[in-house]
Chains A and B, each alone.
Chain A
Amino acid sequence: MATADILEDLRKATPLFQMALTSLPARTEVDFDRVFAQMSADRPDVGTYSRMRVSKLCESAGK
């Protein structure tokens, strides 16, 4: 299932469960500081992520 499809499904489904969705794109390693700062400032109740690609970025950032 493509990330865009997941995002679209989340956008449609979250209101059904009285939830608000925050989309946090992180396409490069430098995006992570911005994304985590945003989450720290505006803390969500739960986080989810597109597993494979973000995992690869995490691995890359750790090198």
Chain B
Amino acid sequence: MRRREFITLLGGAGAAWPLAARAQHAPGKVARVGIIDDSPSWDSFRQRLRELNYVEGQNIAYVYLRTDGSPAQLDAAAAALVQVPVNVIVAFGTPRAQAAQRATKTIPIVAISISDPIAAGLVTSLAHPVGNITGNTILGPDIVTKKLQILKDAFPAVARVAYLWS
């Protein structure tokens, strides 16, 4: 999967760190995707997978587990996904990604919308992550320039940027 495809897939406005782990998908098999706390945020994710010919009920299945957001429930949900087992865990936000990280060192984890993956202990480097985690980040050290670079690559005509802050 190329980097730009990855960013589009996740619908992220931030930067992606390189894909270090991939879910293996053999023809004829159903890939199981584990999601902790389903929400409308995942609609674009599922839509993009459909566009990539991953059709629910045919060659992909989603395993959803809901939690109250507490660390104990997040850990329990992540552990349950590992027990299924799923082929990949996708986690929105740092607490879910960290729970998935605690649950498995082998199943690929896609961590989405992470503030600072290095500070969170998910990866040691954005450029060269190791282990079974990949994903994107929304804010973090050295990210501003990368975001602008991605923006310029995607939309070369962009010349005026407004920053709303408090």
> Which of A7, A17, A44 is B149 in contact with, Cβ under 8 Å?
A17
| B160 A20 Cβ-Cβ under 8 A | yes
- Residues of B within 8 Å of A6, CB to CB, are 139, 144, 163, 165
Total contacting residues, chain B, CB less than 8 A: 26
- Residues of A within 8 Å of B13, CB to CB, are 48
Binding-face segment, B39-47, B92-100, B124-132, B151-159: B151-159
> Which of A17, A23, A43, A57 is B163 in contact with, Cβ under 8 Å?
A23
0/1 string, B113-148, CB within 8 A of A gives 1: 001100000000000000000000011110111011
- Residues of B within 8 Å of A62, CB to CB, are none
- Give the interface size bracket for A toward B: 20 to 34
Most buried by B among A19, A44, A47, A48: A48
| A22 B163 Cβ-Cβ under 8 A | yes
- Residues of A within 8 Å of B149, CB to CB, are 17
| B161 A19 Cβ-Cβ under 8 A | yes
Closest-by-CB residue of B relative to A21 is B161
Q: Whole-angstrom distance between the alpha carbons of A9 and B151 in the complex?
A: 15
Given contacts A13-B148, A19-B152, contact A24 B160 (CB under 8 A): no
A51 near B: Cβ within 8 Å?
yes
Given known contacts A10-B144, A20-B159, A21-B162, what 6 new A-B pairs fall within 8 Å (CB)?
Answer: A3-B165, A13-B148, A17-B152, A44-B161, A45-B158, A51-B138
B residues neighboring A (CB under 8 Å): 13, 115-116, 138-141, 143-145, 147-149, 151-152, 155, 157-166
